[in-house]
Amino acid sequence: MSIPPGRLRRWIGDITVWTDFGPGDRLVHVPDADTALVVRRARDGRCDLLVAGPRTRATYNAGKDIPFSLRLRLRPGSTRLLLGVRTGELVDRVVGIGELWPGSDGLVLRLAEAGTDAGLVLKQLESALLARIAARTPADLARSELVRAAAKALTRPAGPGREPVPAIARRLAVSERHLRGLFADDVGLPPKRFERITRVRRVLADGRASGWAAAGYYDQSHMTADFRAMMGVTPGAFFAGRLPALQPC
């Protein structure tokens, strides 16, 4: 995992590169409230630029022969700004960039020419994304910043500083209804579901079923119910490696 280029850090959360991923590997996609751009290069040299929308449930897949893949995870509030589409239309979907960016063939060709050089791939993506940002209005940018500020507040762990949605809306000088509408359009999920996914991801990052309090749960049974609903297995089974059967990717 690496830090995004300086000019993209405001809109890109992190970058992940995979190399030599093969049919014998297991691919677990955990729930994620963020959208991602994925560059995937096949063994025959074919290159795809995909958009993976917010994922509300885990998937467990058998690997394909993919020698190179690079993922840019977009920060909350960045998807509509960068892709020009309501994020709610992308939930639990993976689509080719051509469905969202008319005239994107040139970018895909340049990504293919960059091969497996992650630096060159990032350079091409950075140029394309910055051009799209430059074409946005000040109102678009302000909307993105508002959503990002609200999402940041909702990802804070439970404690004295934690704000409910009405308090966040008041602090940001918008109505609660307006804030929920922005979340539906720009994040793709209601605030409550966004929070649930964030908590489950904290449990996964902690790496143990006993981390329910630190993840923001009031009790272990609540955590287990959320975890099972999104991951398909209990926390104990997941951390012991007892996963659902793999599905074709």
| Residue 176: per-residue pLDDT | 95
User: HSE-up of 36 (CA within 13 Å, CB side)?
Assistant: 23
Alpha-carbon distance of 249 to 247, in angstroms, equals: 6
Distances (CA, A) of 199 to 33, 128, 184, 196, 230: 11, 33, 19, 5, 11
> What residues contact residue 181 under an 8 Å CB cut-off, 6+ apart?
none
Percent of the chain at pLDDT above 70?
A: 93
> What residues contact residue 199 under an 8 Å CB cut-off, 6+ apart?
215, 216, 217, 223, 226
Alpha-carbon distance of 138 to 144, in angstroms, equals: 10
Q: Is the pLDDT of residue 216 over 90?
A: no
Q: Is the pLDDT of residue 1 over 60?
A: no
| Residue 249: per-residue pLDDT | 65
Alpha-carbon distance of 30 to 158, in angstroms, equals: 22
Chain mean pLDDT for the chain? 89
| Residue 5: per-residue pLDDT | 61
**What does the radius of gyration of the chain's CA atoms come to, in whole angstroms?**
19
| Residue 160: per-residue pLDDT | 65
Q: Is the pLDDT of residue 3 over 80?
A: no
- Of 118-122, 219-223, 233-237, 239-243, where does mean pLDDT reach its minimum? 219-223
| Residue 219: per-residue pLDDT | 81
- Of 24-28, 88-92, 106-110, 149-153, where does mean pLDDT reach its minimum? 24-28
Q: Would you say 50 and 40 are in contact if contact means Cβ atoms under 8 Å apart?
A: yes
| Residue 74: per-residue pLDDT | 95
Mean pLDDT of 182-200: 93
Digit-coded pLDDT (tens) for 126-174: 999 999 999 999 999 999 999 999 999 998 876 667 789 999 999 999 9
| Residue 217: per-residue pLDDT | 81
Mean pLDDT of 205-225: 79
Alpha-carbon distance of 184 to 62, in angstroms, equals: 32
Q: Would you say 192 and 94 are in contact if contact means Cβ atoms under 8 Å apart?
A: no
Digit-coded pLDDT (tens) for 14-35: 999 988 776 777 889 999 999 9
Cα 46 to chain centroid distance, Å, stands at 24
